[in-house]
Structure 1
Amino acid sequence: MRHWLLPLAFLATPLHAQEVDLELVLLADASGSIDQAEIDFQRQGYAQAITHPDVLYAISSTLTGSIAVTYVEWAANQAVVVDWTVIANPQDAEAFAANLLVPPRLASGRNAIGAALLEGKRLIEENSITGLRRVIDFSGDSANNWSGPSIVEARDQVVAAGITINALPILRDGVSEVSGENLIELYTDRVIGGPGAFIVAAESGASFTAAVRRKLILEIAGSPPAVIPTSAP
């Protein structure tokens, strides 16, 4: 059996009732339509975005000067890739980014979007962090839901718990590469919800990292408009 050696930063000690401005669950698509190269590309995109000076400035400008983030891949199952990490300075962000690139693929199979949203809710409610705001950021390339609770039922449970859901649909030529559906409309109707909920659409490829960075800045700052086009500066 192959054993993976993780950096010491990955094996973080529990966080004890630490107050941050934002608790953020990054739910990244790892379903069957996402191959290993795309898994790596998504992780690299988030690693580059979380360490970008504009994102770090947004974090430093919050009320507490800090946020807490966890990165979770979802498919038929959900798997935590990087556990809750408080980011208050560039060193924290660099550690999070480095840890994100280490583990092997941890989720696979067909879509269970409803279950993924409820797992995000559980991760927020069971951690020992106090966030002034609580957000699940869901990304995906389709709106299929092959098992588990329905997307809408799960969304409504999350929102009822005081958690906002934002979304990042991954598109090709403006639609889902998997099904050809308009994911912006579907995610607006079925996925996002809560105060200030919004969508940032990302075309697969070079614009992905820029879209992730815009999304993070808006989530950290709060109160964005409803839909952010891929061409936004």
Structure 2
Amino acid sequence: MRIGNKVWHVLAAALGLLGPAVSGAAARAEPVDVELVLAVDVSSSVDWTEFGLQMRGIAAAFREPDLHATLREGRHGAIAVVLVQWAGPAMQQVVVDWQRIGDAAAAERFANAIDATSRSFPTGGTAIAEALDFVAPLFDGNGFEGDRRVVDISGDGRATAGTAPGAARDRIVARGVTVNGLAILNDEPDLVDYYEGELIGGQAAFVQPASDYADFADALRAKLLREVRGGWYGAGRLDAGDIHVAGRATAVR
């Protein structure tokens, strides 16, 4: 019985130490202006030249002095970013994990990591819904607490695999995440309309068009600046406001 009591006391002490450690870890989440998921279409509709233009365009955007200056304007002076490649229904991968970017040096490290990535999926359809479901939990336990959470889906076509994206979009918006789109129009000139109706959602959601892959870098840079600045609602997470769902604005009560 004495042995049992000793074991119990040891366990109780261990649990007592564990509780503060767990709560302390949660409390140490680093504040940032936005937690941003960059989710890039690398499906079979994207050839190798186009894939290279996407990766180089993203890296170049993070090397832009305009972005570095915009970072300093935020309430926390930093963002957190992760890069995901996606294609078919079971084809999603984090290729550059979450990093805090608050100055030119950190942005350069992120750009260098992008330069070092390879293509995860050279084949596969365009499964937008499954990409959204994959990225939704990436915000949980990532070590950051953003005033806003944004997913940036870039692609050159409609969903051709998996389920329709509308329900997945609504699920992630219900978690307080804004979904924006970068529509590359060389194959589907009406892709902006599709993205507005089926993809984007959340506070101040928008679609940034790129006329083709050669225009991707400029479009991505403009989109990043808008996302970092926070659109029309400025710094701070909103508890209520306009939510853009399925191509229309609806009020949240």
Structure 2 length-normalised TM = 0.77
The DSSP-based 3-state class of the residue aligned with 1:159 is helix
* Secondary structure, aligned partner of 1:43: helix
8 Å CA contact retained: 1:17, 1:130: yes
Equivalent position to 1:39, from 44, 48, 51:
51
Q: Could you tell me which of 74, 79, 86 is aligned with 1:62?
A: 74
Partner of 1:8: none
**Is the CA contact 1:167–1:187 (under 8 Å) kept in the aligned structure 2?**
yes
Deviations 1:51-87 (A, max 9, x none): 1011111111100000000111110111111100100
* CA offset digits 1:205-227 (Å, max 9, x no partner): 4322111110000000112599x
Structure 2 match to 1:93: 107
Give the aligned partner of residue 136 of structure 1: 151
CA contact (8 A) 2:154 2:182 kept: yes
Structure 2 Cα separation of the partners of residues 64 and 181 of structure 1: 38
Partner of 1:187: 195
Conserved? CA contact 2:53–2:214, under 8 Å: no
Which structure has the bigger radius of gyration? Answer: 2
Q: Distance in 1 between matches of 2:95 and 2:62?
A: 15
Q: Distance in 1 between matches of 2:71 and 2:213?
A: 26
Instruction: Choose from 37, 43, 52 the match for 2:64.
Output: 52
Contact 2:54 2:213 in 1 (8 A): no
Which of 192, 203, 209 does residue 201 from structure 1 map onto?
209
Distance 1:224 1:191 in 2: 20
2:117 aligned with 1:109, yes or no? no
Query: What secondary structure, in the 3-state scheme, does the structure 2 residue paired with 1:207 have?
Result: helix
1:210 alignment partner in structure 2: 218
Amino acid at match of 1:117: L
Q: 1:27 to 1:224 in 2, by over 3 A?
A: farther
Q: Are 1:166 and 2:180 counterparts?
A: yes
Which whole-Å CA distance do the structure 2 matches of 1:224 and 1:45 have between them? 25
Instruction: Count the aligned residue pairs.
Output: 206
Instruction: Determine which structure has the larger helix proportion and give its number.
Output: 2
Secondary structure, counterpart of 2:181 in structure 1: strand
Q: Distance in 2 between matches of 1:119 and 1:205?
A: 25
Does 1:20 pair with 2:32?
Answer: yes
Identity %, equivalent residues: 38
Question: Is the 8 Å Cα contact of residues 92 and 134 (structure 2) preserved in structure 1?
Answer: yes
Which stretch of the first structure deviates more once superposed, 118-127 or 53-62?
Answer: 118-127
Deviations 1:75-106 (A, max 9, x none): 01111111001001101000000010112211
Write the distance in 2 (CA, Å) between the matches of 1:30 and 1:224. 31
Judge conservation of contact 1:71–1:81 (CA < 8 Å) in 2.
yes
Cα distance between partner residues in 2 of 1:97 and 1:24: 15
Q: What one-letter code is carried by the residue in structure 1 that aligns with 2:156?
A: D
Shift of 1:181: 5.5
1:203: Cα distance to partner? 1.5
User: Gaps spanning 5+ residues in structure 2: where?
Assistant: 1-24, 234-243, 245-253
Normalised by the length of structure 1, the TM-score is 0.84
Report deviation, 1:129: 1.2
Partner of 1:152: 166
RMSD of aligned alpha carbons: 1.9
Structure 1: runs of 5 or more not aligned: 1-13, 227-233
| Offset at residue 146 of structure 1 (A) | 0.9
